[in-house]
Amino acid sequence: MPKTKQTGIWTVITSSSVGTLIEWYDFYIFGSLATILSVQFFPQDNPTIAFLNTLLTFAAGFIVRPFGALVFGRLGDIVGRKYTFLVTLILMGGSTFLIGLIPSYERIGYLAPALVLFLRLVQGLALGGEYGGAATYVAEHSPPGKRGFYTSWIQTTATLGLFLSLIIILMTRTGIGEEAFREWGWRIPFLVSSVLVGVSIYIRVKMAESPVFAKLKKEGKTSTNPLKESFGKRENLKMVLLALFGATMGQGVIWYTGQFYAMSFIQKTCNIDHVQVNYIIVAALLLGTPFFILFGWLSDKVGRKWIMMLGMLLGVLLYRPIYTAMYNLADLDKKTELVDQYKIERHVEAWEEDPSKQIVTITATQYFSDGTQVKEIKHELDGALHGPVIKGTVLDDAGFWKMILLIFVQVIFVTMVYGPIAAFLVELFPTRIRYTSMSLPYHVGNGIFGGLTPAIATRFFEDSKNAANPGGDPLAGLTYVILVAAVCFIIGVFYLKNSYNTEES
Partner 1 sequence: MKAIHKILGFVWILLSILIAYYILSTSVTEISAGVPEDASIFWPIIIFIFLPILVGLALFGYYSIKGEYD
**Contacting positions for partner 1 (CB under 8 A):** 46, 49, 52-53, 56, 59, 63, 234, 237-238, 241-242, 244-245, 444, 448, 452, 455, 459, 462, 487, 490-491, 494-495
In whole angstroms, how close is the CB of 429 to partner 1 at the nearest point? Answer: 16
CA–CA distance, 59 with 450 (Å, rounded to integer): 9
Choice between 39 and 266, CB closer to partner 1? 39
In whole angstroms, how close is the CB of 251 to partner 1 at the nearest point? Answer: 15
- Measured from the Cβ of residue 152, the count of other Cβ atoms closer than 10 Å reads 28
Choice between 281 and 452, CB closer to partner 1? 452
Choice between 188 and 452, CB closer to partner 1? 452
In whole angstroms, how close is the CB of 259 to partner 1 at the nearest point? Answer: 21
CA–CA distance, 93 with 97 (Å, rounded to integer): 6
Q: What is the largest CA-CA distance in the chain?
A: 81
How many helices (H) and strands (E) the chain has is answered by 23, 4
Which of 276, 264, 285 is CA-nearest to residue 395? 276
Choice between 295 and 480, CB closer to partner 1? 480
Choice between 374 and 448, CB closer to partner 1? 448
CA–CA distance, 14 with 372 (Å, rounded to integer): 43
In whole angstroms, how close is the CB of 250 to partner 1 at the nearest point? Answer: 13
Q: Tell me the chain's radius of gyration from C-alpha atoms.
A: 24
In whole angstroms, how close is the CB of 74 to partner 1 at the nearest point? Answer: 19
Residue by residue, DSSP assigns 324-335 as: HHHHHHH-GGGS
CB 364 within 8 A of CB 332: no
In whole angstroms, how close is the CB of 241 to partner 1 at the nearest point? Answer: 4
User: Rounded to whole angstroms, what are the CA distances from 500 to 154, 303, 484?
Assistant: 20, 9, 24
Choice between 386 and 459, CB closer to partner 1? 459
Choice between 56 and 364, CB closer to partner 1? 56
- Measured from the Cβ of residue 268, the count of other Cβ atoms closer than 10 Å reads 17
In whole angstroms, how close is the CB of 405 to partner 1 at the nearest point? Answer: 35
CB 76 within 8 A of CB 133: yes
Helices (H), 272-304: 274-288, 290-302
